[in-house]
Amino acid sequence: MSFDSKQQKNEKFGHLRLSTSGPQSTSLTGNALLRTPYFNKGSAFTKEERDTFKLHGLLPTNVQTLDEQVTRAYAQYSSRPNDLAKNTFMTSLKEQNEVLYYKLILDHLKEMFPVIYTPTEGEAIADYSKIWRRSEGCFLNIDDADRVDDDIKQWGNPEDIDLIVVSDGQQILGIGDQGVGAILISIAKLVIYTLCAGIHPFRTLPVVLDCGTDNKGLLDDDLYLGLRKERVYGEEYDKFIDKFVSACRKRYPRAYIHFEDFGLTNARRILDKYTPQIACFNDDVQGTGCVTLAAVMAAFKVSDTKWDEARFVMFGSGSAGTGIADQIKDAIAHNTGKSREEAGHQIWCVDKPGLLLRGRKDQLTPAQVPYAREDKEWEGKEYGDLLSVVKEVKPHVMIGTSTRPGAFSEDIVREMAKHVERPIILPLSNPTRLHEAQPQDLYDWTDGKALVATGSPFPPPTAECNNSVTFPGIGLGAVLSRTRLMTPALLVAAVQALASAAPVIKGSGAGLLPDVEDVREISVQIAKNVIKKAVEDDLAQQKDIPTDDADLEEWIREQMWSAEYRPLKLVEEHKADAHARGEVGTGSGQREANF
């Protein structure tokens, strides 16, 4: 990477920096500059910049600060009548001025998080083809699989992209197949990476793999923007994924790939296939597994539950359910010295047909198989519904990733509370309307004894158990260390950092997980653990990573992007490209032509 040499002298770790607070360079002037959201400062362009970049006559006279702009933008945001309208407003703002967009959110993080992310983003995704105005992100479709490499390569040079979030749209949150609208989940996750972990917004790429859709409503919608055909499965699908991964590897060899909201039959399979080959991560399986394990660890501190006796019931055993089960199984094994197989006996997985049993092996996914119980254990017992299973198992922990709203009904919760002092109940299905229970009901039915965390935000004392407190820090660690692989050991290191930041563990509150307000700091701690483990396990490709803890933290913080205006320098066109690539990661070609 090429960096401004003056800047390097002033910075302890200048030579390692990915993103900088130093000057940026562009050859754009006039309206072209104002229409480039990454560089546009609107009314905040200084007098000198207005001279240099030929902006006179294009802006009102008064030069304003970023804070003044935030005040105006917040008033406009607040005047929007509902959350979806607010979400649309934010999308427009992002298309106009990225620094202002991020600064506005960071100043109102708690309030805006549910509007730009879950649950409102779910509505925007479902309405994608109706509310679409301007294209953002990379669209690859299975009918043009031969073009994948060409379509990917136009986003920059090999060193330009650090992080790719990709979805095929088959299982968006709990709202099922959303086809091409899935581009918005890739974009939203990347926004969270920037807000919560300072990942440089211009060094990322949101992708949708349009493989058709089984959503009849979309296929019948004249406005639908995606491939109008039934979803493709099997060999053709696998080849398409392979082409995508190969193209990413070839064109952006340093990029870490985050898979999001793939369907049940593909999510785990794809993850297992590529984990030994590239640095990749499935958020629904691994991010959710990590955050939920951290919540359970915090809850155990309060309830004084011992790992060797703890019993877990998972309701909904898909990507998220089995991902959580795997993390919990490893934690049991780690804390008790049991084998992983033995540890798995403390987990009971329930899905649509009831408890998973070995006798029904042909109906189980490979990820479910290790949790299926021996049929003879359950002979003469009821196992077809959650209440019967809870009666038999008497779980300490019940986790919902079923997409079935209200599944944790009063009789089930009261039954659970009969057997354990502090029932730990985590309804995680998103969006909010799909939660297996409402937190207030859980407190009421257990005389306030339940320890609760939910998939979408609720007021305190209910913590939000959403992968958004985990994946940004893990990604930051992966990007900065340039880890070759994302291994289970790196994820364990991440969970340790997250669990120790829980308010109940720190003694700073009742929450089982840290609040979103604190997430940037949590991400530093997660990234630190991930990087240290990557170095220890000889996976880190980045050279000269500081070994001292304090230095490492400083090194991480310095590379986190923050929402502030940087001085802008005018350079000639050919130099701008070279400079931009090195300094702000601004790709050439299509990236600029797109604005």
Ligand X SMILES: NC(=O)c1ccc[n+]([C@@H]2O[C@H](COP(=O)([O-])OP(=O)(O)OC[C@H]3O[C@@H](n4cnc5c(N)ncnc54)[C@H](O)[C@@H]3O)[C@@H](O)[C@H]2O)c1
Please identify which of the residues 41, 86, 94, 189 carries the catalytic annotation: 189
x-or-dash string of contact with ligand X, 328-367, rule CB under 6 A: -----------------------xx---------------
Q: Count H helices, E strands: the chain?
A: 27, 14
Q: Does 428 bind ligand X (CB under 6 A)?
A: yes
Query: CA 155 to CA 587: how far, in whole Å?
Result: 6
Helix or strand run (H / E) with residue 324:
helix 319-336
Smallest separation (angstroms) from Mn ion to the CB of 180: 17
Angle made by CA atoms 259, 343, 463, in degrees to the nearest 5: 55
| Strands, sheet with 280-282, edge to edge from the N-terminal-most edge strand | 138-141, 204-210, 163-167, 256-259, 280-282
Smallest separation (angstroms) from ligand X to the CB of 277: 23
- Among 98, 168, 284, 577, contact with Mn ion (rule: CB under 5 A): 284
Q: Does 402 bind ligand X (CB under 6 A)?
A: yes
Which of 286, 193, 277, 294 is closest to 242 using CA atoms? 277
Furthest-apart CA atoms within the chain: distance in Å:
84
Give the number of C-alpha atoms closer than 13 A to the C-alpha of residue 382, restricted to the C-beta side.
Answer: 8
Smallest separation (angstroms) from ligand LMR to the CB of 94: 18
Span interacting with ligand X, options 44-52, 131-139, 235-243, 424-432, rule CB under 6 A: 424-432
Q: Does 288 bind ligand X (CB under 6 A)?
A: yes
Span interacting with ligand X, options 65-73, 464-472, 485-493, 541-549, rule CB under 6 A: 464-472
Which of 460, 459, 533, 463 is closest to 495 using CA atoms? 533
Q: Does 455 bind ligand X (CB under 6 A)?
A: yes
Please identify which of the residues 38, 102, 117, 237 carries the catalytic annotation: 117
What are the CA-CA distances from residue 217 to residues 181, 185, 232, 405 (Å)? 13, 19, 17, 22
284 is in an annotated binding site: yes
Sequence-distant (6+) residues with CB within 8 A of 546 are 13, 552, 554, 555
Query: CA 186 to CA 145: how far, in whole Å?
Result: 20
Q: Based on CB atoms, which residue is closest to Mn ion, 210 or 283?
A: 283
Q: Is 454 helix (H, G, I), strand (E, B) or coil?
A: strand
Smallest separation (angstroms) from ligand X to the CB of 422: 21
Query: For the chain, how are helix, strand and coil distributed in percent, rounded to 5?
Result: 50, 10, 40
Q: Does 320 bind ligand X (CB under 6 A)?
A: yes
Smallest separation (angstroms) from ligand LMR to the CB of 456: 7
261 is in an annotated binding site: yes
Q: Based on CB atoms, which residue is closest to ligand LMR, 125 or 398?
A: 125
Q: Which does 319 bind (CB under 5 to 8 A by kind): ligand LMR, ligand X, Mn ion, none?
A: ligand X
Query: CA 83 to CA 69: how far, in whole Å?
Result: 21
- Among 212, 226, 316, 423, contact with ligand X (rule: CB under 6 A): 316
x-or-dash string of contact with Mn ion, 243-262, rule CB under 5 A: ------------------x-
x-or-dash string of contact with ligand X, 165-194, rule CB under 6 A: ------x-xx--------------------
What are the CA-CA distances from residue 227 to residues 162, 171, 179, 324 (Å)? 28, 17, 8, 33
Q: What is the DSSP string of 364-396?
A: S-TTTGGGPBPGGGGTTS--SSHHHHHHHH--S
Contacting positions for ligand LMR (CB under 6 A): 118, 173, 261, 283-284, 430, 455, 466-467
117 classed as catalytic: yes
Comparing every residue's Cβ against ligand X, the nearest one is 318
283 is in an annotated binding site: no
Which of 71, 31, 39, 73 is closest to 55 using CA atoms? 31
Smallest separation (angstroms) from ligand LMR to the CB of 173: 4
Smallest separation (angstroms) from ligand X to the CB of 401: 4
Q: Does 465 bind ligand X (CB under 6 A)?
A: yes
Query: CA 135 to CA 114: how far, in whole Å?
Result: 23
Task: Write out the residues near Mn ion by the rule CB under 5 A.
Answer: 261, 284
Binding-site residues for a divalent metal cation sit at: 260-261, 284
Which positions are catalytic? 117, 189
Task: Write out the residues near ligand X by the rule CB under 6 A.
Answer: 171, 173-174, 264, 284, 288, 291, 316-321, 351-352, 401-404, 428-430, 434, 455, 465-467
